[in-house]
Each structure stands twice: as structure tokens, then as C-alpha cells.
Amino acid sequence: MSNDFRESKYQNESGSKKGNWYINRLDYFQFYGYPRYKLHRFVSLLVGVFCYFLTMKLLSNHFILAIFSIYLCYISLLTFILLKRRICRYKGYLLYPKRMVKFFKTREIDVELEDFDSIATLEKNKK
């Protein structure tokens, strides 16, 4: 899915299913991979799966600990998805730590906002 975002064959499409990302181009950013991102991706998947099974065991006995485990599972699996796609929202996600979004923002890929599609998107959003 991440390959569909900036392919040249979709650059002039602003309203189709494939070109729909350009409507939200000011809400999302793409970031570079950093030297240890593959390790972080693997660890986040491992922690997410571990927390999922831990939640299943804790759910019947310790509800408060299960909620904490669900939160850790959510954070780690969302981090895995973000590291796999390398696309993140500027505003962040529900209950996701802001410092993680800032960490990804420091590795943001610069985008030309003066190209044809960006201008068309901005005009479409004004209406």
C-alpha cells in the first residue's frame, strides 16, 4: 500500500481511490527509515504479540493489568504498522505518544507543495 502514495501514474488524480491520499497530503507525512528501524519493527511486533497473549491470560483474573497490556499491545502494533508503511499523521493517533510522532517527524521526507496536484488539492479543500 505504501507504494501507491507517490507513484507518478497517480500524481494527477485527486479524487479517485488511488489518488485520494493527495487530498490528505497536508495531514500525513512520509519518513525515512533510520539505521535500526528494522530491529524496532521486529521488537514492536514481538512485544505486540506477547502483550496480546498476556491480555488473554489476564483478562479473567486481573482486569486492570489486562487494560494496561491492551494499551501496550496497541502502541507496539501501531508502531509496527507505522514502521512498515513509513507514513504517519502530523496530528498523531488516538492515545499514541506524541514523542513517537515527533521522532518520526525528524526523519520526514520533504515534499514539493508547489506541484500541480498540491495546488489542485488546496483549491479543492477551499470549496
Does residue 11 belong to any structural domain of this protein? no
In a domain, 74, yes or no: yes
Whether residue 54 lies inside any domain: the answer is: yes
- Sheet strands (E) in the chain: 28-30, 87-89
With a threshold of 0.75, does the pTM exceed it?
Answer: no
Q: What is the pLDDT of residues 49-77, one digit of tens each?
A: 999 999 999 998 999 999 999 999 999 99
On whether residue 93 sits in a domain, the answer given is: yes
pLDDT tens-digit map of 4-38: 555 554 454 444 444 444 445 667 888 999 999 99
Domain count, the chain: 1
Query: Of 79, 74, 60, 49, whose CA–CA distance to 88 is shortest?
Result: 79
Give the structural domain span for 103: 37-110
104 within some domain: yes
The answer to whether residue 106 sits within a structural domain is yes
Determine the number of helices (DSSP H) and then strands (DSSP E) in the chain: 4, 2
